Amino acid sequence: MTEVHERLEELRDRGLYRHLRLVEGPQGPTVTLDGRPVLLLCSNNYLGLADRAEVREAAAEAALQWGAGSGASRLISGNMEPHRALERRLAAFEGYESALLFGSGYLANSGVIAALAGRGEVVFSDELNHASIVDGCRLSRAETFVYRHGDLEHLSWGLRKARGRGSLIVTDGVFSMDGDVAPLTQLLELAHRHGARLMVDEAHATGAVGPGGRGSVAAAGLSGEVDIVVGTLGKALGSYGAYVCAAAELVDLLVNSARSFIFSTAPPPSASAAAAAALAILETEPELVDKLQANAALLRRSLAAEGLEAGPSTTQVVPVHVGEAEATMELCELALEKGVFAQGIRPPTVPDGSCRLRMTAMATHRREDLVAAAHMVGTAAREVGLVRAEPLAA
């Protein structure tokens, strides 16, 4: 048996040890972190809906009406009106026949993949997909072909090699650590050509990109055509939980076979009611999405003026690439000292040697705060020797 202490020591030696930081108050553009006020640039509360009054009130009212918890899984006694109402709303929002709630995005991805692929089949997964997709592939007991990031030739080759055993192609819509968008039109074409389904994880796309925040699938004009769309409620929609949109029959199969749906307590009614309120705001204030993307573009430009490039990002996820774990955490701590909270991201979240400071813009950031944050990160990067040049005029 490996000693707990030794395992922790090993993580420390490799610069991979993580610890929890304490945020006081809601996820606003500024938070108090471990007792100090800092600019928040690593929250997924992209539209600021987690702390909007209407969303909080909807959660409070639902808790008063329905109770704090749902008491059981949906198939036992936990299926309540707030779940049903939100599912109807989400299906209409995404342009699908049916939607099904899951406890979280992690549970949705792992449960859906394991339910839709099995022994003897092959799942095709982008190498930069989220860990919940990786774990879903493992749970499915299908063979997994990991294709190089966004590499359609590599995927095509794998599909040919699978000779009809390919059952599912799965990809993040917006990649969670890089902020680039998957080539969905071509992926769907390959899925059709090889008789496989396409599943897109819209965790960082729902509410953040596409027409009215309908995600990368809608942005590509593929609503209703991509077989399975997974979205989360805990990021731009400011609540907690996740959903899957698909044809009614496929959703029925998930109700009957996705273990993370069947064997887990239904989401608290307050979380579903809060997400429904967030969706209502998104529908009446689609300009929030434009504000978010304008802020993201400003953050990228301001970082570039500091000599820091955000790679292929075209969205609100804006990584500052560093490389090694120790240098990344040094930059993270120094930026924090200057007043910017952006998390250093290390393996296993990203591949070895590609550690980064992952910055995220929110619609609620003031423009001057984003420029100031980029300048503080730029100064920190110069101090740790990551960039040499003085900043250009933004």
Q: Which of 83, 130, 235, 365 is catalytic?
A: 235
Q: Please, are residues 144 and 169 in contact by the beta-carbon 8 Å criterion?
A: no
Selected catalytic residue, list 98, 176, 270, 354: 176
Note whether 106 binds ligand PLP by CB under 6 A: yes
To which residue do tokens 């009957």 refer?
256
CB-nearest residue to ligand PLP: 105
Q: How far is the CB of 215 from ligand PLP (least distance, A)?
A: 12
Instruction: Tell me which stretch binds ligand PLP (CB under 6 A): 105-113, 145-153, 305-313, 345-353.
Output: 105-113
Residue 104 as a binder of ligand PLP (CB under 6 A): the answer is yes
Pick from 166, 234, 267, 319 the residue near ligand PLP by CB under 6 A: 234
Q: How far apart are CA 306 and CA 308, in angstroms?
A: 6
Q: Minimum CB separation from ligand PLP for residue 294, in Å? A: 23
β-strand partners of 294:
none
Element spanning 105, H or E: helix 105-116
Is 260 catalytic? The answer is: no
Cβ neighbours around 179 below 10 Å, total: 26
d(C-alpha 63, C-alpha 291), whole Å = 31
From residue 189 to residue 228, the character string flagging contacts with ligand PLP as x (rule: CB under 6 A) and all else as - is ------------x-xx------------------------
Could you say which of 204, 239, 260, 313 is catalytic?
204
CB of 130 to ligand PLP, least distance (A): 3
Of 147, 214, 215, the closest CA to residue 187 belongs to 147
Among 122, 242, 288, 299, binds ligand PLP (CB under 6 A): 242
Give 7 or 18: the residue with its C-beta nearer to ligand PLP: 18
Q: Is 172 one of the binding residues for ligand PLP (CB under 6 A)?
A: yes
What is the H or E stretch that residue 231 is in? strand 228-232
Judge whether 176 counts as a catalytic residue: yes
Strand-pair category, 122-126 with 166-172: parallel
How many Cβ atoms from other residues are within 10 Å of residue 350's Cβ? Answer: 20
Q: How does DSSP classify residue 50?
A: G
Query: Residue 202 or 306: which CB sits closer to ligand PLP?
Result: 202
Q: Would residue 235 show up in a list of annotated catalytic residues for this protein?
A: yes
Q: Which residues contact 219 (CB under 8 A, 6 or more apart)?
A: 181, 205, 209, 210, 211
Q: Quote the CA–CA distance of 1 and 335 in Å, as a whole number.
A: 39
Least Cβ distance, residue 296 to ligand PLP (angstroms): 16
Select 219 or 372, whichever has its Cβ closest to ligand PLP.
219
Q: Between β-strands 122-126 and 143-147, what pairing exists: parallel, antiparallel or unpaired?
A: parallel
> What is the closest distance, in whole angstroms, from the C-beta atom of residue 135 to ligand PLP in the complex?
10
Verify binding: residue 239, ligand PLP, rule CB under 6 A.
no
Q: b/e for 193-208, b at 16 or more Cβ within 10 A? A: ebebbbbbbbbbbbbb
Enzyme catalytic residues: 176, 204, 235
| Residues near ligand PLP (CB under 6 A) | 104-106, 109, 130, 132, 172, 176, 201, 203-204, 232, 234, 242
